[in-house]
Amino acid sequence: MSTTAMPKSWNINTKPHKFCPGCGHGHILRALGEAIDDMDIQDRTVFGCDIGCSLLAWDFFNIDSIQTHHGRTTPVMVGIVRANPSLIGIAYMGDGGGYAIGAQHLVNSANRNDKILVVLVNNTNYGMTGGQMAPTTLPGQVTETTPYGRDALETGTPTQGPELVAAITGENAYVARGTVSNLRQLKKYFKKALENVQEGNGFSFVEVLATCPTNWRTNAKDTWKFLEENMASYFKVGEYKVPPTKREG
Amino acid sequence: MEKPIQEEKRVFMTGNEVVAWGALAAQADIMYGYPITPQNEIMHYWTRLAPKYGKSFLQTEDELSAGFATIGGVLAGKRSFSATAGPGNTLFQEPISMAEMMRIPMVVAIQQRGGPSTATVIYSQQEVNMTTYGGNGEGLRIVYSTATHQELFDYMIKAFNNAWKYRFPAFILGDGYQAKMREPLIMYNPEEKGIEMVKPDVSLGKEGVPGKDRDPVYLRNAYSMEEELFEVLMPMIEEYNKVSPEIEEHFSLSCEDADLIIVSHGIVSRAAMAAEEELRKEGIKVGLFRPITLRPFPEGAIREICKSTPNILIVESANGQLARLVKEALFGLPINMQAIFKPGVGITSEEIIKFIKSKKTEEIIAK
């Protein structure tokens, strides 16, 4: 992984990007951009972003892009690739978009084995709207709508997305959870996921654990600690489903 | 591949079947659908016909998905459509508002059923408000209210063409009666009739490497500033207003010497037409006005007629949804208005005749 140059698939004219300092989105989009570069699929890829912080990526790439509605990026990308199967559709969304308002789309697209990649950024809160509880908020975590901490008895436990998706997809799906604390691994996941789509093999889903210091109200040290200790202990990083053709060894 | 319709063909079929054939005749590429009565057979016929002509279908998880996937199909440069009714139309308002904002020429056939809520699967004209002005927006849409199976076919073709020509979402507003009943019509290949089919264009996934051979395409519906939105929206509204006279359509009959104009739309206008014929035989001078486009509404045409005949009787299977559009169109004119509102219930010519005859002349005909 290069350390300084921007990925070729990034649009240099729209940088610096619009995300907050310390936000995980930039790192994720870098790993995604590098995976796209390595595969040389810039001309065939269509990028869709959701509402929430993910919409700030609407002019991020040198890739045809569309910003949709909250939770609705999955069906838009499904519609595109069903009409033109030669395109590689990426639906980019947050945890609210994928696990709450758009959950039925994620579940059914996974179940239909649509040939798209869904990238879901899990930062345990609704960032754009000011830090409310998300389906992924950890037990006890303080947010604007759980000011005394999330009470699991009242509001449930964090959604285990890749586990859910892996359980309902077919054999040929690729499902993984990466983290911004391991970008080399994340890029590898993205490449496998994109290859799976490109080969017309199956649905691909990558959840990424990401930082949100603005809404977590954490300094650099505590931000890293929350990601690496609190989140990582609840959300296990790794591959949850690998199609037979992509299995190593 | 063989063309779905080679030459003019007289057929006898249900309205839902007509919509599927109309979409084929309009060279639609893909349908995204979700089951809801009374439009289901549109999907049933499409799924049977589509593979024979290289067309596609996707059954989605709900109407939100059907609407947004239809938008996706359009963005990929394909003539894409869906069909829905009632509560499904309610869900459709979200993708339709995005289509309005982003000038996406999606086509949706709506077969109205009873409302509010689940109500009946049978019939109504209660989806006028929603189809013309639903969603959070300004109603930048084209809505054709059909009355016959021939029109279902004709206006499917026109809906695709005008959606792609003007880039506003377009709707066929039928109803459960039209969906389920059979009647004769003539199907044809529009190009053989000299109707030029507007070619769809690709929005996302164009030729070349973005950033190298060309600029990337960025489509969005979210804006940061009030002024930014205003600058995007006002030209759209101005353009809609400018092209409206080209899109507006209406049907009128015997208005010139009429004392009373019956205003109705869709299938109810057929009852109104039968009533007009009967009443004329008895020497009662009745005229008819029927908006075919409910959006844009044929305001100029109805104002012209009502300037000479200010007495109108609005008849609809809703509680004043057409009346609202009519009143807005006639704002400022001195009008004497009577109404038959039967929300969710069909209306016969006999009822209209009886209503008119039950009124004293001065009640219904103000001089």
Tell me, letter by letter, the H, E, C secondary structure of chain B. Answer: CCCCCCCCEEEEEEHHHHHHHHHHHCCCCEEEECCCCCCHHHHHHHHHHHHHHCCEEEECCCHHHHHHHHHHHHHCCCCEEEEECHHHHHHHHHHHHHHHHHCCCCEEEEEECCCCCCCCCCCCCCCHHHHHHCCCCCCCCEEEECCCHHHHHHHHHHHHHHHHHHCCCEEEEEEHHHHHCEEEEEECCHHHHCCCCCCCCCCCCCCCCECCCECCCEECCCCCCHHHHHHHHHHHHHHHHHHHHHHCCEEEECCCCCCEEEECCCCHHHHHHHHHHHHHHCCCCEEEEEECEEECCCHHHHHHHHHHCCEEEEEECCCCHHHHHHHHHCCCCCCEEEEEECCCCCCCHHHHHHHHHHCCHHHHCCC
Write down the CATH number for the domain with range A21-246.
3.40.50.970
**Domain B252-364 fold:** Rossmann fold (3.40.50)
Give percent above pLDDT 90 in chain B: 96
Chain B CB contacts of A36 below 8 Å:
none
CATH superfamily, domain B9-193, is: Thiamin diphosphate (ThDP)-binding fold, Pyr/PP domains (3.40.50.970)
Q: pTM of the entire structure? A: 0.97
Tell me whether residues B58 and A82 touch, CB distance under 8 A. Answer: yes
pLDDT-derived band at A4, boundaries 50, 70, 90: low
Chain A CB contacts of B76 below 8 Å:
79-81, 83-84, 87
ipTM of the complex: 0.96
Chain A CB contacts of B65 below 8 Å:
72, 74-75, 78, 104-105, 108
State pLDDT tens for residues A24-62: 999 999 999 999 999 999 999 999 999 999 999 999 999
For residue B359, what pLDDT is reported?
A: 85
A118 to chain B, any CB pair closer than 8 A? The answer is no
Tell me whether residues B60 and A108 touch, CB distance under 8 A. Answer: yes
Chain B CB contacts of A70 below 8 Å:
none
Tell me whether residues A42 and B209 touch, CB distance under 8 A. Answer: yes
Chain A CB contacts of B67 below 8 Å:
75
For residue B364, what pLDDT is reported?
A: 76
pLDDT-derived band at B136, boundaries 50, 70, 90: very high
Domain ranges across chain B: 9-193, 252-364
Tell me whether residues B218 and A58 touch, CB distance under 8 A. Answer: yes
A229 to chain B, any CB pair closer than 8 A? The answer is no
Average pLDDT over residues B293-315: 97
CB pairs under 8 A between A and B: 139
State pLDDT tens for residues B199-238: 999 999 999 999 999 999 999 999 999 999 999 999 999 9
